[in-house]
């Protein structure tokens, strides 16, 4: 991997970066800005090398500065460079988009948060999906339904064995059947992509449309001026500007395998979207700052930390909250709202400060890049109670 960085944009000024203050003359501010940039470049490269990550793109934005940095490449075979327009599988960042679709239906009176799945979809599982009959829309959004996560219940390995299989929602959910729930519905937090697949099916049922791309184009893409985000739905060949995803083998060889063409659930509402740094930036601005996607009332529901959420990583309904843990956040870093994602061969992260629009977006075409440690090292995130050695343990999380 080449030791190279591309700085696409940099505006120097006096600034505050996620709670890191730069004060004094303009020249001091510029020097501090450059020091941050150099340190961030070095940290990005070091973690990419250590984790065997082929390429990483990062966007960091403050009130008066916007940086886009890359290290590595998009395609080993062609040596294609990473750019702000390079597309990546964004995995569970998709859940933010699914939540927007759901809350739009709530806002327009077509759905209630307390509605149960069984009352909308019936029971296609014949009683085999534990907690399904008691689970509501709100529980699924907040990961409190207790329905077992299909991804970590054999789906990931099955997807790698059936590389050319485009999984339907109900085929994927078969991996959650006949398994005990993690807890009584609505009483605790347990991350589960199962609920988000069901939320997608509710959206299809109520709208009468099967194509998520068409639904999102109306509700999100057109409003946010997004042109590079989509569900690929198994289309081949891949788009030329899609970064190839690579998996690092365990052992001394550290061999990279191209896993881009494994069908991992590209049409599923829990983690199937492809996007870019610039499109995700537009989405976060439209959702959180401009509020053009859903109303403030719906946004408050989406951002509100559910009372079942794990204390070390607050979670709303479609959003996670960075720096939520007060015990770890001794330096009072601001709360950032967004999501993380893990897809075979890819990592993703996107967070924004609703107070001033500061944001960080990270996309990688290697699945073991330590995103949280990177954010800690560059001063954006407070130390986690649990270190992220196992960040790559759960796909689409």
pLDDT digits (tens, 9 = 90+) for 168-213: 999 999 999 999 999 999 999 999 999 999 999 999 999 999 999 9
Region 98-115: what's the mean pLDDT?
98
One-letter-per-residue 3-state SS of the chain: CCCCEEECCCCCCCCEECCEECCCCHHHHHHHHHHHHHHHHHHHHHHHHHHCCCEEEEEEECCCCEEEEEEEEEECCCCEECCCCCEEECHHHHHHHHHHHHHHHHHCCCCCCCCEHHHHHCCCCCCCCCCHHHCEHHHHHHCCCCCCCCHHHHHHHHHHHCCCCCCCHHHHHHHHCCCCCCCCCCCCCCCCCHHHHHHHHHHHHHHCCCCHHHHHHHHHHHHHCCCCCECCCCCCCCCCCECCCEEECCCCCCCEEECCCCCCCCCCCCCCCEECHHHHHHHHHHHHHCCCCCCHHHHHHHHCCCCCCCCCCCECCCCEEECCCCCCCCCCCCCEEEEEEEECCEEEEEEECCCCCCEEEEEECECCCCHHHHHHHCCCCCCCCCCCCCHHHCCCC
Region 346-368: what's the mean pLDDT?
96
Q: Per-residue pLDDT tens for 140-166? A: 999 999 999 999 888 888 887 776 678
Q: Tell me the pTM.
A: 0.89
Would you kindly state where each structural domain of the chain is located, as residue ranges? Answer: 5-393
Q: Per-residue pLDDT tens for 114-134? A: 999 999 999 999 999 999 999
Q: Per-residue pLDDT tens for 38-71? A: 899 999 999 999 999 999 999 999 767 899 999 9
Domain formed by 5-393, architecture: 3-Layer(aba) Sandwich (3.40)
């Amino acid at each position: 991997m080449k030791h190279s960085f591309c700085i696409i944009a940099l505006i120097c000024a006096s600034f505050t970066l996620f709670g890191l203050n730069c004060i004094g003359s303009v020249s001091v501010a510029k020097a501090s800005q450059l020091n941050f940039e150099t340190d961030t470049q070095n940290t990005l490269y070091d973690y990419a090398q250590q984790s065997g990550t082929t390429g990483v793109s990062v966007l960091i934005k403050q009130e008066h500065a916007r940086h886009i940095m890359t290290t590595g490449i998009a395609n080993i075979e062609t040596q294609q460079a990473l750019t702000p327009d390079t597309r990546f599988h964004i995995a569970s960042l998709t859940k933010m988009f699914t939540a927007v679709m759901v809350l739009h239906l709530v806002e327009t009176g077509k759905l209630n948060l307390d509605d149960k799945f069984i009352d909308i979809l019936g029971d296609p599982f014949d009683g085999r999906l534990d907690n399904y009959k008691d689970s509501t829309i709100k529980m699924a959004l907040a990961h409190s339904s207790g329905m077992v996560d299909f991804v970590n219940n054999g789906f990931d390995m099955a997807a790698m064995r059936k590389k050319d299989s485009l999984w339907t929602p109900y085929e994927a959910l078969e991996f959650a059947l006949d398994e005990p729930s993690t807890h009584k519905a609505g009483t605790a937090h347990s991350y589960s992509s199962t609920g988000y697949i069901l939320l997608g099916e509710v959206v299809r049922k109520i709208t009468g449309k099967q194509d998520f791309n068409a639904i999102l184009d109306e509700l999100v893409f057109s409003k946010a001026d997004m042109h590079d985000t989509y569900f690929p739905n198994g289309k081949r060949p891949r788009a030329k500007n899609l970064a190839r995803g690579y998996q690092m083998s365990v052992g001394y060889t550290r061999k990279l395998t191209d896993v881009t063409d494994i069908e991992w659930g590209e049409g599923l509402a829990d983690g199937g979207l492809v996007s870019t740094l610039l499109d995700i930036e537009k989405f976060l601005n439209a959702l959180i700052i401009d509020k053009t996607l859903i109303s403030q009332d719906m946004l408050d529901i989406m951002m509100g930390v559910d009372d079942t959420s794990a204390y070390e990583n607050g979670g709303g309904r479609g959003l996670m909250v960075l720096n939520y843990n007060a015990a770890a956040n001794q330096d009072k870093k601001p709360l950032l709202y967004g999501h993380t994602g893990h897809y075979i061969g890819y990592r993703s992260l996107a967070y924004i400060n609703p107070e001033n629009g500061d944001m960080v977006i990270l996309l990688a075409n290697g699945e073991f890049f330590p995103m949280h440690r990177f954010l800690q090292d560059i001063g954006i995130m407070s130390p986690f109670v649990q270190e992220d050695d196992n960040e790559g343990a759960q796909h689409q999380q």
